[in-house]
């Protein structure tokens, strides 16, 4: 394990004013998103869409530090024969790879899941490293209702995250540790805060036991927000205060950066909440690792039509730049275009 290299890579991923593009949707997930716009999902259309993002002029250079890829994507070439990994590197970002194989139902625990993919991971990591990956991602899914999460489910996922992280660092790959407390449900802000704090404390206990180098990893948590069906939603300042309070209680200062997931928030809400979090700040770099919150506008504009690519690229570049500002606490809603009539 090259500790210095891991630390340099982790710091690069949370460079000031930059965040991570999550372009690691599985074939089934991206097919669902494409279907909303009547786009056929094939290796070529998936390649074309991601190439559009990676070639968006100025987006990656200015605002994106790393790109998380799916297994198919890390092996693909652009329309002109250039490897997609090389496009990302040429724009100054680091290629990464999702290495889990998804959340499955946890036996005997209704409503809870365990993320799988540890079998054969050491060998897959070696392959991905050869393909150009410099960091990885593993997502654990934690739901909330009146009876969950249970300590058993949280500990099972924390253990998997720790084992994954240790294997990644052994392979000189920086692990992104993603314990996502879901927004689904009607729980309030305080309930999300309590569950998130519990989960993060258990995760870092497991990481410590696995001897994971904290300086060579990135945390990708949810923000502390009410459930989507909660009758009272929280303003950005409330989200920021609750989120920073939980992080201060749970995350060691040795961790170089925290790259939040958007978790189903709207584009602008994810930006506004990140901005409010950075207005408070903490001992870590506080940035973004967004998928839909970076891509939704571009996908809507593109809609599978090549002639729409320039406008879609512009939409992606704008969203990336807005989040780059939010990662510095410099975003303002005045910078957003007025809403369009549908």
Catalytic residues: 178, 220
My answer on whether omega of the bond before 149 falls inside 30° of 0, hence cis, is yes
Residues 92-114: b if buried by 16+ CB within 10 A, e if exposed: ebbbbbbbbbebeebeebeebbb
Q: What CA–CA distance (Å, rounded) separates 40 from 103?
A: 26
Q: What CA–CA distance (Å, rounded) separates 47 from 58?
A: 20
The residue behind tokens 């150009």 is 132
For residues 132, 255, 235, 263, the Cα torsion angle rounded to the nearest 10 degrees is 40
Least Cα distance to 158 among 218, 108, 198 occurs for 198
Q: What CA–CA distance (Å, rounded) separates 56 from 50?
A: 10
Q: What CA–CA distance (Å, rounded) separates 181 from 116?
A: 17
């Amino acid at each position: 394990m090259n500790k210095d290299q891991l630390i340099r890579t982790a710091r690069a991923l949370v460079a000031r004013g930059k965040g991570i593009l999550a372009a690691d949707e599985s074939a089934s997930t991206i097919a669902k998103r494409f279907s909303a716009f009547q786009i056929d999902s094939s290796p070529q259309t998936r390649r074309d869409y991601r190439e559009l993002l990676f070639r968006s002029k100025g987006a990656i250079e200015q605002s994106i530090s790393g790109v998380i890829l799916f297994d198919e994507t890390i092996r693909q070439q652009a329309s002109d024969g250039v490897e997609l990994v090389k496009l990302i590197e040429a724009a100054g970002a680091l290629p990464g790879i999702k290495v889990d194989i998804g959340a499955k139902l946890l036996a005997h625990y209704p409503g809870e899941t365990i993320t799988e993919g540890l079998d054969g991971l050491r060998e897959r990591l070696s392959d991905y490293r050869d393909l150009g990956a410099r960091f990885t991602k593993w997502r654990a899914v934690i739901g909330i209702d009146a009876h969950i999460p249970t300590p058993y489910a949280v500990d099972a996922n924390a253990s998997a995250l720790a084992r994954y992280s240790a294997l990644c660092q052994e392979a000189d790959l920086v692990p992104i540790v993603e314990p996502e407390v879901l927004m689904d449900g009607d729980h309030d802000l305080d309930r999300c805060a309590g569950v998130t704090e519990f989960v993060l404390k258990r995760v870092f206990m497991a990481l410590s036991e696995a001897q994971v180098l904290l300086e060579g990893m990135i945390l990708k948590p949810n923000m502390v927000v009410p459930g989507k069906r909660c009758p009272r939603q929280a303003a950005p300042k409330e989200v920021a205060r609750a989120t920073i309070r939980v992080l201060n209680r749970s995350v060691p200062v040795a961790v170089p950066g925290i790259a939040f997931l958007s978790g189903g928030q709207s584009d602008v809400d994810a930006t506004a909440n990140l901005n409010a979090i950075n207005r408070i700040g903490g001992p870590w770099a506080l940035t973004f690792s967004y998928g839909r919150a970076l891509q939704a506008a571009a996908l809507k504009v593109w809609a599978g039509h090549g002639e729409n690519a320039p406008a879609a690229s512009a939409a992606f570049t704008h969203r990336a730049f807005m989040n780059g500002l939010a990662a510095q606490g410099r975003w303002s809603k005045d910078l957003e275009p007025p809403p369009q009539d549908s």
